[in-house]
Amino acid sequence: MTTNDTSPSPLLPHLFRTEYRNIVGVLCYRFGIEHVEVAEDIVSDTFLSATEHWGTEGIPENPVGWLYTVAKNKTRNHLKRNALFEKKLAAEIRYSAETSEEIEIDLSIKNIADSQLAMIFAVCNPIISAESQISLALNLLCGFGIQEIADAFLTSKTVVYKRLNRAKEKLKEANIRIEQPTLSEINSRLDTVLTTLYLLFSEGYYSQNENTTLRKDLCAEAMRLNSLLLDNPTTNKPAVNALLSLMCFHSSRFDARLDEIGQIVLYEDQDETRWNQELIGLGKDFLIKASTGNEVSKYHLEAGIAFWHTQKEDTQHKWESILQLYNNLLILEYSPIAALNRTFAVSKSRGKEQAIAEAEKLQLTDNHFYFSLLGHLYSGLNDAKALQHFETALALAATDSEKALIKRNMERVTARRD
C-alpha cells in the first residue's frame, strides 16, 4: 500500500543519508571490501527505483522496508547474472545457481549495528591517510555524497573522488576484512579509530566552511559513530566515553559560537542561555563513565577542559583547573595549537604579561589565531602593538567570519585609544 503523497523528494534525501550507509555496510560486511563498488551500485540503483516508483505510485507505508526489500532483490539478481562474482563467492556464501537456495541479506537492526562497527574498524585503518579515513567514513559510514565531502574539506569533487578510489584500492590490496574486531584488534586499533572520529568532529566544529548545517552534520555523524562504539561491550572503553563527553561539551556551545548573522562570537561574549544544557548533562555522564580504569587519554584531559568551558563563572579556580589540564595534555601529547590555547588560560590565571611571554615563544607565525591571541593579550597593555598583531591576523585569516571578528576586535582597541 502507498500513501497519497506523490512527492517523495523531501523524504528521499533523508532516507538516502540514513539508509544508504546501512545497506552498503551490510552488503560490504557480507561480501567484503573488495566488492564495495558493487554494493554502492546496488544501493544507488535501489534509490533510483524509489525515485521513479514513488514519484508515480506514491510513497509506500513503510518506505524503509520497501528500500530493504528492493535492495535484497537487486542483490540476488546481481548474483544470479554475474557469473564471475558468483563463482568467486560460491563457497563462502553457499549460493548455487543450480539450486533454489537464495542468499539471505540480513538488514535487521542488530546486523546493521554489527556491520557499522565492523566497517568503522575497516575504514579507520592506518594504511590509508587520515584524510582518506575521514572521507571514507563520511562516504560509506555516514552516507555523504562526493560534493558534500568536497565542501567539508573545501576542495573539489575530483580530489575527493580520487582520494576515495585510492583508499578503497589500498584496502583491497591489503586484503582488509570487514569483520567484528577481536579483543587484540580493539586494543591495537582503537586509538586509530578514535583519532579518526576526533578529526571528523573537529572538521565540523572548527571547520573554515561557513555552511553551518554541514558543519553540524559532520559533528552529529562523529557522535553517532562514537555512540556505536559505546553500544558494543567490547569497544565500550573509558577513552571512548571520554571522547563522546568532549563532543557533547563542545556541541553544547555550538549555537552560541555564532550570532544571528553568522559571525563568530568569542567565548567571553557568548550568551550562555544558548548553551544546550541537555548536552552538558550528557557530557558529565560520559565523563563520569570515563573515569573507570587507571589510564588517562588526551580525550579525558580535553573533555575536562571542555567541561570547565561550560561553567560560565570567571573564577580563579576555573582557569587554574583549565591550566593544569593543559599542562598535563601537553606532557601527554604535545600540540602547538594546544600550547597556544593554554596561553589564554595562563592570561586568566597568571596575568597577561606571563601569557605574552609564553605565547611569543611558540612563534606560530603562519597561524592567524596566534596573532589574534597576541592582539587580545596586548590589548590594554600596548594598544599599538595589539593593532599590529590584529592586522597580521587579518592578512592571514581565510574566512569572512574570521576577518569580521578580527575587525571588530580592532575597532574595540581603536575606540578605547580614541
Reading the block at residue 194, the C-alpha cell is 578514535
Residue closest to 243 by CA, chosen among 183, 182, 189, 200: 200
The per-residue pLDDT for 100 is 41
The per-residue pLDDT for 92 is 55
Please write the tens of the pLDDT for every residue from 35-47: 999 999 999 999 9
Residue 241 to residue 249: CA distance in whole angstroms: 12
Please write the tens of the pLDDT for every residue from 302-327: 999 999 999 988 888 999 999 999 99
Please give the backbone phi and psi of residue 96, each rounded to the nearest 5 degrees, phi first.
-135, 130
The per-residue pLDDT for 91 is 52
Tally of CB atoms within 10 A around 160: 24
Please write the tens of the pLDDT for every residue from 268-278: 889 999 999 99
Q: What Å distances lie between residue 173 and 34, 165, 167, 168, CA to CA?
A: 9, 12, 10, 9
| pLDDT tens track, the chain, 418 positions | 455 554 555 788 888 888 999 999 999 999 999 999 999 999 999 999 999 999 888 889 999 999 999 999 999 888 887 755 556 555 555 444 444 456 788 999 999 999 999 999 999 999 999 999 999 999 999 989 899 899 888 889 999 999 999 999 999 999 999 999 989 989 999 999 999 999 999 999 987 777 788 789 999 999 999 999 999 999 999 999 999 999 999 999 999 998 887 788 889 889 999 999 999 999 999 999 999 988 899 999 999 999 999 998 888 899 999 999 999 999 999 999 999 999 999 999 999 999 999 999 999 999 999 999 999 999 999 999 999 999 999 999 988 889 999 999 999 999 887 6
Judge contact between 355 and 347, C-beta under 8 A. Answer: yes
The per-residue pLDDT for 11 is 80
Reading the block at residue 406, the C-alpha cell is 578580527
The per-residue pLDDT for 406 is 95
User: Concatenated DSSP letters for 201-252?
Assistant: HHHHHS-S---HHHHHHHHHHHHHHHHHHHHSTTT--HHHHHHHHHHHHHHH
User: Concatenated DSSP letters for 249-283?
Assistant: HHHHTTGGGB-TTS-B--GGG--GGGS-HHHHHHH
